[in-house]
Amino acid sequence: MLEDSFASLSFIAGPAILTNASAILQNGATTRYNLAISHRRETRAALERPIDRASRSAT
């Protein structure tokens, strides 16, 4: 039998905590990646838009 009563708890909870931490880090990385892709698409769309010279000279 185990002498330390917390040994069985750490045996069960340890991998669960590591799995949870990994999932949180992955979610953060995915969010940053999606934000970068979104910014890239917005920038590309803005660069492909034709410049309206009539509205620029009116101001």
What is the token pair recorded at 4? 């330390």
State residue 50's pLDDT score. 83
Render pLDDT for 4-57 as a digit per residue (tens, 0 to 9).
Answer: 777 777 888 889 999 999 999 999 999 999 999 999 999 999 999 887 766 665
CA distance 53 to 45: 18
Q: Which amino acid is at 32?
A: R
State residue 51's pLDDT score. 78
State residue 33's pLDDT score. 97
With beta carbons less than 8 A apart as the criterion, state whether 26 and 18 touch. Answer: no
What is the token pair recorded at 1? 């039998």
With beta carbons less than 8 A apart as the criterion, state whether 8 and 2 touch. Answer: yes
CA distance 20 to 14: 10
